[in-house]
Chains A and B, each alone.
With several copies, the nearest count.
Chain A
Amino acid sequence: MKQEIVIAGFGGQGVLSMGMTLAYGGMVENKDVSWMPSYGPEMRGGTANCTVILNDEKISSPIINSFDTAIILNQPSMAKFESKVKPGGQIIYESNNILTPPTRSDITILDIPANKEAVKLNIKRVMNMIILGTYLGLNPVLKIESILKALTKVLPGRHHHLIPINQQALERGMELATQPTIM
């Protein structure tokens, strides 16, 4: 099975590390993976994104232009990626940051109040893990243990004590996946 995901938002929203966690999780489960960031001069206010491919076989091209899933964390990214989701694919987005929701009808669309939920968990920074949880809830391509193992790689040592709270966030996200606002 092959999963092609794009994750997009503001620079500070943990977009790149969410992608890396996913990729590392795939590697833990012996999938071939690739992670490709948008890169460039630091221009805050612009968008950052990364694409992740998880594949049971060898990945040929790491460069992809359409996606099974788009995880969208701000409005400019919605404008950029809505049209690039494959028919039958899905968009997961953070409610607070999106003023104009997507309008496509040939894909699944999920609206997750991850920021609010993160505030509830008392750590704003786990917003991205909530969304990732939702993604995994909807697409059980990786085990949560693999993601937790991935976090030990992605998080610097001094942040390893945060893994439990990240786990909580992932689990909350998976819960939300079962009760999404599907349009």
Chain B
Amino acid sequence: MAKLHGHVTINIENCKGCELCTDACPQNSLNMSKNINKKGYHYAILVEENCTGCTNCALVCPEAVMTVYRENKNRIIKPAPMASIDSKNISVSIS
């Protein structure tokens, strides 16, 4: 399967420089900045263009500072309401 092209943006001011994302990225697309943010942390940055949008970095990031983009192959996996629940009857239908 050909890899899709992806991208991530990072809210660097909330990054705590834990390095978990850089370690989790299978593409080695991320690295830690030499600069520090206002809290004094070296923050993560995207340094390679080979990101596939696999979301690994976002999944492990404790601060949830990532937004991950991926080329559109006609499907959307954004964690929007996948299920709807009728709060009165407490019955669920997964869409």
Contacts and interface: CB of A to CB of B under 8 A. Distances in A.
A contacts B directly in the complex (CB < 8 Å)? yes
Interface of A: 10, 44-45, 74-75, 97, 99
Contacts of B16: 44-45
B22 to A, nearest CB: 19
Classify the secondary structure of A's interface with B: loop
Contacts of A10: 40
Interface string B49-77: 00000000000000000000000000000
B39 interface: yes
A75 B41 CA distance: 12
Contacts of B40: 10, 45, 74-75, 97
B38 interface: yes
B54 to A, nearest CB: 28
Nearest to B39: A45
Nearest to A99: B38
11 contacts: A10-B40, A44-B16, A45-B16, A45-B39, A45-B40, A45-B41, A74-B40, A75-B38, A75-B40, A97-B40, A99-B38
A53 B41 CA distance: 32
Nearest to A74: B40
Given A74-B40, A75-B40, 9 more contacts: A10-B40, A44-B16, A45-B16, A45-B39, A45-B40, A45-B41, A75-B38, A97-B40, A99-B38
Contacts of B38: 75, 99
A25 B56 CA distance: 51
Contacts of A45: 16, 39-41
A118 to B, nearest CB: 16
Contacts of B39: 45
A45 B14 CA distance: 11
